[in-house]
């Protein structure tokens, strides 16, 4: 089955109101009419309205990098799925390694967020991935299997259609280290087989699995050319029009 590639940018906490709109306008002009690949930009919360406005007439969707699992109420500092929809988000990234390992989010919390995001009409980029010492001790399959099984708990086959899995080996995020195409393909195939066990072959064949970890214009085509790699979640290189366009153009 051929799956449409999905390339999304996860902007880091480095922009400004003016710069984020400028970059989004540049992306709208360079990539706004691309149809062959699904595209999204996920800025920090505060820049979402400006970026959404700049991208509104383009084919580039907007997403957030996190959300809370309640709709309303006294949860100071938190943002709900309903609020993200309200300001034009189509997507939300959940379970990013920086939230797991810097902020301390658990599989259970991520699962609650995924359930609420899907119920609220958002599409989820659900991130999983192993630490360097886990890879070195041959525990990648075990770690990723636990993250996926726990993260997808109580999510039925219909809801699964709203999820893209992002495999992001933690040792490759923001480090300049990239998984080799063989390493990426091996783990993506394992993830697809796991989805097959949990949901059946048809859904396993249709779910998209993005790779993330130092994707750049120079390595994107090779990584995204792997049979089970269906796109990319791009951090640093999604923050400039030149690099993000370079990545997208390398697979068109």
Contact string 4-23 vs ligand PEP (x = CB under 6 A): ------x-------------
Among the candidate windows 66-74, 145-153, 180-188, 206-214, which touches ligand PEP by CB under 6 A?
A: 206-214
- For residue 164, how many other CB atoms are within 10 A of its CB? 23
Q: 232: which strand partners?
A: 7, 211
94 binds ligand PEP (CB under 6 A): no
Helix axes 48-55, 17-31, angle to 10 degrees: 20
**Which among 98, 105, 123, 168 is annotated as catalytic?**
168
Of the pair 120, 235, the CB lying nearest ligand PEP is at: 235
**Element (H or E) spanning 123, and its range?**
strand 123-128
Residue 188 annotated among the catalytic residues of the structure: no
* Phi-psi sector, 174: left (phi>0), alpha (psi -120 to 50), beta: left
236 binds ligand PEP (CB under 6 A): yes
Tokens of 75: 């949860």
Among the candidate windows 21-29, 67-75, 207-215, 242-250, which touches ligand PEP by CB under 6 A?
A: 207-215
95 binds ligand PEP (CB under 6 A): no
Please classify residue 79 by burial: count the beta carbons closer than 10 Å to its beta carbon, then call 0-12 exposed, 13-18 middle and 19+ buried. middle
Of the pair 80, 210, the CB lying nearest ligand PEP is at: 210
Alpha carbon separation from 115 to 62, 81, 101, 150 (Å, rounded): 20, 10, 21, 12
- In this chain, which of 41, 67, 81, 233 binds ligand PEP, going by CB under 6 A? 233
- For residue 99, how many other CB atoms are within 10 A of its CB? 18
168 binds ligand PEP (CB under 6 A): yes
Residue 96 annotated among the catalytic residues of the structure: yes
Q: Kindly state the smallest distance separating residue 173's Cβ from ligand PEP, in Å.
A: 4
214 binds ligand PEP (CB under 6 A): yes
Check if the beta carbon of residue 132 is closer than 8 Å to that of residue 170.
yes
Closest residue to ligand PEP: CB criterion: 235
Task: State how far the Cα of 166 lies from the Cα of 129, in Å rounded to an integer.
Answer: 8
**Which among 96, 123, 130, 188 is annotated as catalytic?**
96
Q: Which of residues 172-201 bind ligand PEP (CB under 6 A)?
A: 173-174
Catalytic residue numbers read 96, 168
Binding site for ligand PEP (CB under 6 A): 10, 168, 173-174, 212-215, 233-237
């Amino acid at each position: 089955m051929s799956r449409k590639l999905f390339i999304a940018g996860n902007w880091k906490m480095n922009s400004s109101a003016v710069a984020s709109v400028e970059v989004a306008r540049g992306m709208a002009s360079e990539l706004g009419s691309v149809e062959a690949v699904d595209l999204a930009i996920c800025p920090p919360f505060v820049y979402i309205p400006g970026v959404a406005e700049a991208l509104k007439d383009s084919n580039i969707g907007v997403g957030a990098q996190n959300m809370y699992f309640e709709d309303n109420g006294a949860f100071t500092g938190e943002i709900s799925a309903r609020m993200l929809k309200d300001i034009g988000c189509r997507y939300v990234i959940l379970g990013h390694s920086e939230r797991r390992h810097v902020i301390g989010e658990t599989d259970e919390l991520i699962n609650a967020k995924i359930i609420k995001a899907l119920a609220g009409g958002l599409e989820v980029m659900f991130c999983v991935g192993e630490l360097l010492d886990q890879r070195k001790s041959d525990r990648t399959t075990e770690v990723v299997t636990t993250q996926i099984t726990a993260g997808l708990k109580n999510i039925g086959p219909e809801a699964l259609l709203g999820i893209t899995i992002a495999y992001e080996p933690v040792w490759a995020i923001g480090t300049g280290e990239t998984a080799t195409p063989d390493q990426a393909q091996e783990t993506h195939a394992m993830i697809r087989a796991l989805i097959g066990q949990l949901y059946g072959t048809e859904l396993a064949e249709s779910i998209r699995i993005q790779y993330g970890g130092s994707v750049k214009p120079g390595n994107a085509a090779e990584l995204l050319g792997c049979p089970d790699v269906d796109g990319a979640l791009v951090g640093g290189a999604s923050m400039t029009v030149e690099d993000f366009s370079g990545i997208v153009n390398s697979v068109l």
